[in-house]
């Protein structure tokens, strides 16, 4: 499974600001749990060292890259997880 880093987290609606995106960006996380058409699940480490859980909007698509990174598109957000 391994650990990842949330290197990109961007709202699809550029007029929408989500404070959780700023809090999660560049934080370590476990491999996200993803099923097309269902809400995703991300477990990430906060800056204080605690682990928090977040449900995403429904997953539209995801792709595991050759280097192990993961690109995810949900209804509301684009994510990129970099494998550590």
Q: Between the CA of residue 81 and those of 15, 48, 54, what are the distances in Å?
A: 23, 20, 15
**pLDDT tens digits, one per residue of 27-60:** 999 999 999 999 999 999 999 999 999 999 999 9
- Give the tokens for residue 12: 């699809």
The total of other beta-carbon atoms located within 10 Å of residue 54's CB is 15
The CA distance from 57 to 45, in Å, is 20
The confidence score (pLDDT) of residue 1 equals 61
- Give the tokens for residue 78: 């684009």
So where are the chain's domains? 3-83
Task: Please name every residue paired with 39 in a beta bridge, in sequence order, or none if there are none.
Answer: 58
Q: Is the per-residue pLDDT at 15 higher than 90?
A: no
Pick 2 or 45 by higher pLDDT: 45
**pLDDT tens digits, one per residue of 57-79:** 999 999 999 999 999 999 999 99
Quick check: 71 and 4 in contact, CB under 8 A? Answer: no
Q: Is the per-residue pLDDT at 14 higher than 90?
A: no
């Amino acid at each position: 499974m391994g650990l990842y880093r949330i290197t990109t987290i961007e709202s699809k609606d550029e007029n929408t600001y989500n404070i959780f995106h700023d809090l999660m960006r560049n934080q370590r996380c476990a491999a996200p749990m993803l099923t097309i058409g269902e809400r995703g699940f991300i477990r990430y480490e906060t800056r204080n060292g605690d682990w928090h859980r977040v449900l995403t909007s429904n997953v539209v698509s995801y792709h595991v890259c050759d280097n192990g990174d993961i690109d995810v598109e949900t209804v509301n957000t684009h994510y990129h997880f970099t494998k550590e």
